[in-house]
């Protein structure tokens, strides 16, 4: 992946969620600019739900740019179990960060929204102008609406205060370093783990939620990092911008591809009593290209291979560590 050619226009950058999945790639890229200082607030030191902690963060870091990635997230199951928590904590983080950024006269604020903010039955491809044409899919509506409030705040603060903030809507992310916890993971890491564990145990089948008929758009995490930094560097408007590939795949096809790449040859059983979530997701990505020249580079097949290879290496490393420890004992 190519680094941005121009010098980065900000010198002191706070990246909330900078130790997370997407954040690590963004921080790594920013650190390649010799004149840029990056500050990553840790949750143990700064609770971003609390205004007093945000004030202390901005006083400590003195940033001229904030990239807000921190979020309380999870798959369909996690959203169903925690709708209140996901709504409150995401809402309060976003609202208070933007307000304190304005009061501290931060030069620019980059807010990451979510594709979950789109209405359940948005015509495909999803265009940014369709964001308010209905209610989000119910299983993740609290999370999606909480994040979408940053768009309202961004636009109203630009109108009233001239505050420079932007709002980006990435597709579903995946890649090396993703969350593979079976309780909270999203669909790609969940299916990769299921197929690999079934292959290793010799299981005859794997189970997957829903019917397999829903479609999703998936964006490789390094592509997303490139898009966010291009927008941070070059885009200064509060109109929302989709960040994605512009292509979709049915979950049934996705699972077949993952099974092939992980060499799992057993049966796939669909759990029809589990929800599919939003019926279709595919983004119109023309605005990102027009406004700041972003176009995704990594194909889904290539990205899946890289993700599977990374996870298998992690599992192999953990197995080696456990064996070494047991021998020492």
Residue 263 lies in a domain: yes
pLDDT of residue 117: 94
What domain range is 44 assigned to? 12-325
pLDDT of residue 261: 98
Q: Quote the pTM value.
A: 0.90
Residue 301 lies in a domain: yes
Residue 5 lies in a domain: no
Query: What are the helix and strand counts (H, E) for the chain?
Result: 10, 12
Contact 111, 95 (CB under 8 A): no
Q: Give just the sign of the alpha carbon dihedral 63, 68, 69, 73.
A: positive
pLDDT of residue 78: 73
State the Cα–Cα distance between residues 298 and 6, nearest whole angstrom: 22
Residue 97 lies in a domain: yes
pLDDT of residue 139: 85
Q: Which two tokens stand for residue 175?
A: 């890649």
Residue 134 lies in a domain: yes
State the Cα–Cα distance between residues 105 and 157, nearest whole angstrom: 12
Per the DSSP assignment, residues forming a β-bridge with 166 are 110
Query: What are the tens digits of pLDDT across the range 62-100?
Result: 999 999 999 987 767 777 888 999 999 999 999 999 999
Beta strands (DSSP E) in 37-90 are 37-39, 65-68
Of residues 309, 270, 272, the one with CA closest to residue 175? 309
pLDDT of residue 327: 45
pLDDT of residue 320: 53
**CA 307 to each of CA 3, 215, 258: distance values in angstroms, whole numbers, following the listed order:** 21, 20, 10
Counted domains in the chain: 1
Give me the residues of the chain with pLDDT under 50, please: 1-3, 321-327, 329
Q: Is the peptide bond before 125 cis (omega within 30 degrees of 0)?
A: yes
Contact 69, 17 (CB under 8 A): yes
Residues labelled catalytic: 143
pLDDT of residue 328: 53
Residue 146 lies in a domain: yes
State the Cα–Cα distance between residues 135 and 29, nearest whole angstrom: 36
Of residues 202, 195, 178, the one with CA closest to residue 306? 178
State the Cα–Cα distance between residues 102 and 192, nearest whole angstrom: 42
pLDDT of residue 184: 79
Residue 164 lies in a domain: yes
CATH of the domain at 25: 3.40.50.720
Contact 216, 187 (CB under 8 A): yes
């Amino acid at each position: 992946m190519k680094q941005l050619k121009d010098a980065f226009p900000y010198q002191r950058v706070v990246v909330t969620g900078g130790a997370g999945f997407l954040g690590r790639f963004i921080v790594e890229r920013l650190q390649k600019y010799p004149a840029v200082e990056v500050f990553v607030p840790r949750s143990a030191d700064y609770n971003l739900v609390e205004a007093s902690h945000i004030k202390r963060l901005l006083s400590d870091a003195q940033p001229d740019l904030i990239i807000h990635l921190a979020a309380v997230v999870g798959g369909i199951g996690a959203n169903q179990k925690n709708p209140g928590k996901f709504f409150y904590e995401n809402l309060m983080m976003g609202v208070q960060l933007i307000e304190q950024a304005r009061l501290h006269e931060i030069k620019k604020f980059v807010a990451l929204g979510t594709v979950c903010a789109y209405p359940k039955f948005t015509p495909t491809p999803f265009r940014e102008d369709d964001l308010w044409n209905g209610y989000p899919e119910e299983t993740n509506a609290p999370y999606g609406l909480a994040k979408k409030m940053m768009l309202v705040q961004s636009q109203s603060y630009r109108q009233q205060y001239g505050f420079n903030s932007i709002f980006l809507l990435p597709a579903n992310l995946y890649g090396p370093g993703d969350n593979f916890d079976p309780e909270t993971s999203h669909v790609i890491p969940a299916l990769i783990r299921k197929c690999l564990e079934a292959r290793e145990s010799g299981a005859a089948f794997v189970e997957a939620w829903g019917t397999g008929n829903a479609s999703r758009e998936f964006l490789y995490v390094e592509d997303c990092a490139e898009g966010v930094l291009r927008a941070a560097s070059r885009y200064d408007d509060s109109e929302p911008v989709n960040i994605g590939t512009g292509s979709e795949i049915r979950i049934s096809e996705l699972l077949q591809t993952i099974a092939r790449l992980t060499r799992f040859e057993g049966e796939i059983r669909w759990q029809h009593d589990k929800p599919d979530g939003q019926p279709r997701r595919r983004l119109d990505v023309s605005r990102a290209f027009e406004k700041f020249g972003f176009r995704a580079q990594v194909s889904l097949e290539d990205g899946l291979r890289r993700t599977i290879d990374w996870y298998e290496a992690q599992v192999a490393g953990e197995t080696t560590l456990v064996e070494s420890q047991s021998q020492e004992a």
